[in-house]
Structures are given as C-alpha cells and as structure tokens.
C-alpha cells in the first residue's frame, strides 16, 4: 500500500540539481504559516503551535494580572 506518502518520500530522496548544483535536502520547512515535514507528519507543527500558544498566554497573563490596569464595571441589562 504505497499511496501518496510513499510517492512524496520518493520525490524527497531524489537527487535534484539546478545548474549543476545538488539541492540540499531539508527535513522540514515553513510555508504559509505551516511546517511541512519530509515524513508527512504534523507532530512538529503541533509542537510549534503549542509553543506559540504558550508564549501568547504568558504575555496575556502579565496583562490580566497587572494592578495598573482597571476595567470599568459592567452592568447586565
């Protein structure tokens, strides 16, 4: 059962040259805010997005716990 995944792996392992220079093989790269990996998995992408989420939450946490910022009271109508 080959499927698309094995076809992609065959393309990745092919020796591709441009103007006589062999292209370097990459294990992953960023494209349109997504990480594309040579094993067609999304584990790296999930890790990257999780790290981005953690960084954003840490920045927001400082804002939420700041004593120098106050919000007007809300009323329910």
Question: Residues 11-41: pLDDT tens digits?
Answer: 556 678 889 888 887 777 777 777 777 777 7
Q: Are 4 and 39 in contact (CB under 8 A)?
A: no
Domain ranges of the chain: 10-62
CA atoms of 74 and 77, how far apart (whole Å): 10
Mean pLDDT of the chain: 76
pTM exceeds 0.85: no
Do 27 and 56 meet the contact criterion of CB atoms below 8 Å apart? no
């Amino acid at each position: 059962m080959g499927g698309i995944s094995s076809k992609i792996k065959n393309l990745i392992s092919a020796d591709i040259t441009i103007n006589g220079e062999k292209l370097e093989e990459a294990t992953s790269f960023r494209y349109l805010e997504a990480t594309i990996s040579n094993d067609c998995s999304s584990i790296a992408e999930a890790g990257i997005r999780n790290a981005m989420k953690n960084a954003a939450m840490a920045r927001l946490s400082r804002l939420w716990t700041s004593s120098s910022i106050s919000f007007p009271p809300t009323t329910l109508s």
